[in-house]
Protein backbone atom coordinates (compact mmCIF):
# COMPACT_ATOMS: atom_id res chain seq x y z
CA UNK A 1 0.00 0.00 0.00
CA UNK A 2 2.82 2.40 0.85
CA UNK A 3 4.58 1.66 -2.43
CA UNK A 4 1.41 2.48 -4.41
CA UNK A 5 0.76 5.64 -2.42
CA UNK A 6 4.38 6.74 -2.82
CA UNK A 7 4.07 6.45 -6.59
CA UNK A 8 0.50 7.76 -6.87
CA UNK A 9 0.23 10.60 -4.38
CA UNK A 10 -3.34 11.56 -5.26
CA UNK A 11 -4.93 8.09 -5.04
CA UNK A 12 -7.47 7.57 -2.27
CA UNK A 13 -8.00 4.29 -0.43
CA UNK A 14 -10.59 2.98 -2.92
CA UNK A 15 -8.27 3.27 -5.93
CA UNK A 16 -5.38 1.89 -3.88
CA UNK A 17 -7.66 -1.03 -3.01
CA UNK A 18 -8.30 -1.69 -6.69
CA UNK A 19 -4.56 -1.66 -7.41
CA UNK A 20 -3.92 -4.09 -4.53
CA UNK A 21 -6.70 -6.35 -5.77
CA UNK A 22 -5.00 -6.58 -9.18
CA UNK A 23 -1.94 -8.18 -7.56
CA UNK A 24 -4.02 -10.58 -5.46
CA UNK A 25 -4.19 -8.64 -2.17
CA UNK A 26 -7.90 -8.39 -1.33
CA UNK A 27 -9.36 -7.06 1.91
CA UNK A 28 -12.67 -5.69 3.06
CA UNK A 29 -13.35 -1.96 2.97
CA UNK A 30 -13.14 -1.35 6.73
CA UNK A 31 -9.76 -3.04 7.08
CA UNK A 32 -8.47 -1.29 3.97
CA UNK A 33 -9.54 2.11 5.29
CA UNK A 34 -8.18 1.44 8.79
CA UNK A 35 -4.72 0.52 7.47
CA UNK A 36 -4.86 3.46 5.05
CA UNK A 37 -5.49 5.87 7.95
CA UNK A 38 -2.95 4.23 10.28
CA UNK A 39 -0.24 4.59 7.63
CA UNK A 40 -1.03 8.30 7.29
CA UNK A 41 -1.83 8.06 3.59
CA UNK A 42 -4.95 10.26 3.56
CA UNK A 43 -5.03 12.58 0.57
CA UNK A 44 -5.17 16.24 1.46
CA UNK A 45 -8.03 17.95 -0.35
CA UNK A 46 -7.08 20.88 -2.55
CA UNK A 47 -9.33 23.90 -2.57
CA UNK A 48 -11.41 24.07 -5.72
CA UNK A 49 -11.49 27.18 -7.84
CA UNK A 50 -14.65 29.24 -8.19
CA UNK A 51 -16.87 28.34 -11.11
CA UNK A 52 -19.60 30.24 -12.86
CA UNK A 53 -23.08 29.59 -11.47
CA UNK A 54 -25.81 28.41 -13.76
CA UNK A 55 -28.30 25.65 -14.42
CA UNK A 56 -26.96 22.32 -15.60
CA UNK A 57 -27.71 21.29 -19.18
CA UNK A 58 -28.28 17.56 -19.56
CA UNK A 59 -26.55 15.90 -22.49
CA UNK A 60 -27.26 12.40 -23.84
CA UNK A 61 -24.85 9.78 -22.55
CA UNK A 62 -22.63 8.41 -25.36
CA UNK A 63 -23.11 4.66 -25.74
CA UNK A 64 -20.27 3.76 -28.12
CA UNK A 65 -16.74 4.96 -28.92
CA UNK A 66 -16.49 7.92 -31.31
CA UNK A 67 -20.05 8.99 -30.63
CA UNK A 68 -18.79 12.12 -28.88
CA UNK A 69 -15.37 13.66 -28.30
CA UNK A 70 -14.61 16.48 -25.88
CA UNK A 71 -11.88 19.11 -26.30
CA UNK A 72 -10.42 21.65 -23.91
CA UNK A 73 -7.25 23.60 -23.17
CA UNK A 74 -5.10 23.64 -20.05
CA UNK A 75 -2.05 25.73 -19.29
CA UNK A 76 1.11 25.27 -17.23
CA UNK A 77 4.73 26.47 -17.11
CA UNK A 78 8.20 25.08 -17.71
CA UNK A 79 11.70 26.42 -17.07
CA UNK A 80 11.77 30.03 -15.87
CA UNK A 81 7.97 30.43 -15.79
CA UNK A 82 7.61 29.95 -19.55
CA UNK A 83 3.96 29.23 -20.25
CA UNK A 84 2.68 26.48 -22.54
CA UNK A 85 -0.74 25.13 -23.45
CA UNK A 86 -2.13 21.61 -23.57
CA UNK A 87 -4.91 20.51 -25.93
CA UNK A 88 -6.78 17.57 -24.39
CA UNK A 89 -8.98 15.35 -26.58
CA UNK A 90 -11.15 12.68 -24.92
CA UNK A 91 -13.65 10.05 -26.00
CA UNK A 92 -16.62 10.59 -23.67
CA UNK A 93 -17.95 7.02 -23.92
CA UNK A 94 -14.93 5.05 -22.67
CA UNK A 95 -13.21 8.05 -20.99
CA UNK A 96 -10.09 7.39 -23.06
CA UNK A 97 -7.70 10.27 -23.60
CA UNK A 98 -6.96 10.38 -27.33
CA UNK A 99 -4.30 13.07 -27.21
CA UNK A 100 -2.41 15.56 -25.05
CA UNK A 101 -0.82 18.09 -27.41
CA UNK A 102 1.55 20.52 -25.68
CA UNK A 103 3.05 23.64 -27.28
CA UNK A 104 3.71 27.29 -26.51
CA UNK A 105 0.99 28.30 -28.99
CA UNK A 106 -1.86 26.29 -30.50
CA UNK A 107 -4.01 27.94 -33.16
CA UNK A 108 -7.30 26.83 -34.67
CA UNK A 109 -5.45 25.55 -37.75
CA UNK A 110 -3.16 23.48 -35.47
CA UNK A 111 -6.22 22.03 -33.71
CA UNK A 112 -7.64 21.00 -37.10
CA UNK A 113 -4.37 19.28 -38.07
CA UNK A 114 -4.25 17.40 -34.76
CA UNK A 115 -7.85 16.29 -35.23
CA UNK A 116 -6.99 14.97 -38.69
CA UNK A 117 -4.19 12.92 -37.14
CA UNK A 118 -6.51 11.51 -34.45
CA UNK A 119 -9.20 10.65 -37.00
CA UNK A 120 -6.66 8.58 -38.94
CA UNK A 121 -5.97 6.55 -35.78
CA UNK A 122 -9.36 6.30 -34.05
CA UNK A 123 -11.87 7.08 -36.78
CA UNK A 124 -14.22 10.04 -37.17
CA UNK A 125 -16.44 11.18 -34.26
CA UNK A 126 -20.13 11.91 -34.70
CA UNK A 127 -19.97 14.99 -32.47
CA UNK A 128 -17.35 17.17 -30.78
CA UNK A 129 -18.03 19.29 -27.69
CA UNK A 130 -15.91 22.29 -26.68
CA UNK A 131 -16.16 25.73 -25.12
CA UNK A 132 -16.33 28.99 -27.04
CA UNK A 133 -12.59 29.67 -27.15
CA UNK A 134 -11.25 31.50 -30.19
CA UNK A 135 -9.42 28.37 -31.38
CA UNK A 136 -12.65 26.35 -31.41
CA UNK A 137 -14.72 29.03 -33.15
CA UNK A 138 -12.11 29.90 -35.78
CA UNK A 139 -12.66 29.62 -39.53
CA UNK A 140 -10.23 26.69 -39.66
CA UNK A 141 -12.37 24.68 -37.22
CA UNK A 142 -15.64 25.61 -38.92
CA UNK A 143 -14.19 24.47 -42.23
CA UNK A 144 -12.84 21.24 -40.72
CA UNK A 145 -16.20 20.36 -39.16
CA UNK A 146 -18.04 21.11 -42.40
CA UNK A 147 -15.60 19.17 -44.60
CA UNK A 148 -15.67 16.13 -42.31
CA UNK A 149 -19.39 16.18 -41.58
CA UNK A 150 -18.83 16.36 -37.81
CA UNK A 151 -21.35 18.15 -35.61
CA UNK A 152 -19.54 20.69 -33.42
CA UNK A 153 -21.35 21.69 -30.24
CA UNK A 154 -20.17 24.72 -28.26
CA UNK A 155 -21.36 24.90 -24.66
CA UNK A 156 -22.98 28.03 -23.27
CA UNK A 157 -20.49 30.73 -22.17
CA UNK A 158 -19.57 30.47 -18.50
CA UNK A 159 -21.03 26.97 -18.05
CA UNK A 160 -18.15 24.44 -18.01
CA UNK A 161 -20.45 21.91 -16.32
CA UNK A 162 -22.06 21.33 -19.72
CA UNK A 163 -18.78 19.70 -20.76
CA UNK A 164 -18.41 17.74 -17.55
CA UNK A 165 -16.46 14.78 -18.93
CA UNK A 166 -13.47 16.87 -20.03
CA UNK A 167 -13.69 19.05 -16.91
CA UNK A 168 -13.39 15.92 -14.75
CA UNK A 169 -10.43 14.76 -16.83
CA UNK A 170 -8.77 18.17 -16.50
CA UNK A 171 -9.05 17.91 -12.72
CA UNK A 172 -7.36 14.51 -12.73
CA UNK A 173 -4.60 15.68 -15.09
CA UNK A 174 -3.84 18.74 -13.00
CA UNK A 175 -4.12 16.95 -9.67
CA UNK A 176 -2.07 13.86 -10.57
CA UNK A 177 0.43 15.25 -13.08
CA UNK A 178 0.69 19.02 -13.54
CA UNK A 179 0.67 19.79 -9.81
CA UNK A 180 3.06 16.93 -9.07
CA UNK A 181 5.75 17.57 -11.69
CA UNK A 182 8.19 20.41 -12.43
CA UNK A 183 8.97 20.60 -16.14
CA UNK A 184 12.46 21.62 -17.25
CA UNK A 185 11.53 22.20 -20.87
CA UNK A 186 8.72 21.75 -23.36
CA UNK A 187 10.24 18.43 -24.41
CA UNK A 188 10.26 17.30 -20.77
CA UNK A 189 6.61 18.35 -20.39
CA UNK A 190 5.65 16.36 -23.50
CA UNK A 191 7.48 13.30 -22.19
CA UNK A 192 5.82 13.48 -18.76
CA UNK A 193 2.39 14.01 -20.32
CA UNK A 194 2.89 11.00 -22.61
CA UNK A 195 3.83 8.79 -19.64
CA UNK A 196 0.84 9.98 -17.61
CA UNK A 197 -1.51 9.51 -20.57
CA UNK A 198 -0.32 5.92 -21.04
CA UNK A 199 -0.89 5.20 -17.34
CA UNK A 200 -4.30 6.93 -17.38
CA UNK A 201 -5.54 4.88 -20.34
CA UNK A 202 -4.05 1.49 -19.47
CA UNK A 203 -3.44 1.22 -15.70
CA UNK A 204 -5.42 3.76 -13.68
CA UNK A 205 -8.80 2.36 -12.49
CA UNK A 206 -11.87 4.51 -13.26
CA UNK A 207 -14.80 4.33 -10.88
CA UNK A 208 -17.19 5.51 -13.62
CA UNK A 209 -16.20 2.43 -15.66
CA UNK A 210 -16.62 -0.05 -12.82
CA UNK A 211 -12.89 0.24 -12.03
CA UNK A 212 -11.94 -0.77 -15.58
CA UNK A 213 -9.34 1.14 -17.57
CA UNK A 214 -10.40 3.18 -20.64
CA UNK A 215 -8.53 0.77 -22.92
CA UNK A 216 -10.42 -2.20 -21.46
CA UNK A 217 -13.70 -0.31 -21.78
CA UNK A 218 -13.06 0.48 -25.45
CA UNK A 219 -12.22 -3.14 -26.22
CA UNK A 220 -15.37 -4.37 -24.45
CA UNK A 221 -17.56 -1.97 -26.42
CA UNK A 222 -15.89 -2.68 -29.76
CA UNK A 223 -16.27 -6.45 -29.26
CA UNK A 224 -19.98 -6.01 -28.66
CA UNK A 225 -20.46 -3.54 -31.54
CA UNK A 226 -21.11 -0.68 -29.18
CA UNK A 227 -23.99 -2.24 -27.25
CA UNK A 228 -22.20 -4.06 -24.41
CA UNK A 229 -25.06 -4.37 -21.91
CA UNK A 230 -23.49 -4.09 -18.49
CA UNK A 231 -19.94 -3.91 -19.85
CA UNK A 232 -19.39 -0.51 -18.29
CA UNK A 233 -21.84 -0.92 -15.43
CA UNK A 234 -20.80 0.85 -12.25
CA UNK A 235 -21.17 -0.79 -8.83
CA UNK A 236 -24.61 -0.53 -7.25
CA UNK A 237 -23.20 1.47 -4.35
CA UNK A 238 -20.47 4.06 -4.07
CA UNK A 239 -18.57 1.90 -1.58
CA UNK A 240 -15.48 0.00 -2.59
CA UNK A 241 -16.53 -3.59 -3.34
CA UNK A 242 -13.62 -6.05 -3.56
CA UNK A 243 -13.91 -9.26 -5.56
CA UNK A 244 -12.86 -12.51 -3.91
CA UNK A 245 -12.13 -13.63 -0.37
CA UNK A 246 -11.21 -11.19 2.36
CA UNK A 247 -7.82 -11.32 3.95
At 145-196, the pLDDT tens digits run: 999 999 999 888 888 888 888 999 999 999 999 998 999 999 999 999 999 9
Beta bridge partners of 218: none
Sequence-distant (≥ 6) Cβ neighbours of residue 138 within 8 angstroms: 107, 108, 109, 111
Q: How far apart are the first and last CA of the chain?
A: 14
Distance CA 193, CA 184 (A): 13
Q: Are 138 and 160 in contact (CB under 8 A)?
A: no
Reported pTM: 0.70
Q: How far apart are CA 87 and CA 161, in angstroms?
A: 18
- Highest-pLDDT range among 25-29, 76-80, 106-110: 106-110
Tens of pLDDT along 5-48?
A: 776 766 777 777 787 887 788 887 888 888 777 777 776 666 65
Answer yes or no: is pLDDT of 49 > 80: no
The answer to whether the beta carbons of residues 98 and 118 sit under 8 Å apart is yes
pLDDT over 50 (residue 50): no
Q: How confident is the model at residue 107 (pLDDT cuts 50, 70, 90)?
A: very high
Helices (H), 71-185: 108-122, 139-148, 164-173
Query: What pLDDT is attached to residue 160?
Result: 84
pLDDT of amino acid 60: 60
pLDDT 10s digits, 113-156: 999 999 999 999 999 999 988 999 899 999 999 999 999 998 88
DSSP letter (8 states) at residue 177: I
Is the pLDDT confidence value at 209 over 50?
yes
3-state helix, strand, coil in the chain (%, to 5): 40, 15, 45
Whether 237 shows a pLDDT value over 70: the answer reads no
Round to whole Å and give the CA distance between 245 and 57: 43
Question: Which residue in 200, 234, 231 sits closest to 215, CA to CA?
Answer: 200
CA 205, CA 201: separation in Å to the nearest integer? Answer: 9
Residue 231 has a pLDDT of 44
Mean pLDDT of the chain: 81
CA distance 231 to 153: 28
| Amino acid 14: pLDDT | 78
DSSP label at residue 149 = T
CA distance 84 to 38: 40
In angstroms, rounded to a whole number, what is the distance separating the alpha carbons of residues 138 and 132? 10
Amino acid sequence: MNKIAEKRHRFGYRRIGVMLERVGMVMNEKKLYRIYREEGLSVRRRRGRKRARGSRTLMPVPLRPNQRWSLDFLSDTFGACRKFRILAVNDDCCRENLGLIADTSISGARVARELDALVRVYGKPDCIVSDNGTEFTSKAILKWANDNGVEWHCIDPGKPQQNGYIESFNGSLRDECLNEEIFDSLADARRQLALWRCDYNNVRPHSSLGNKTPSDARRALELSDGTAPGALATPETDAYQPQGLSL
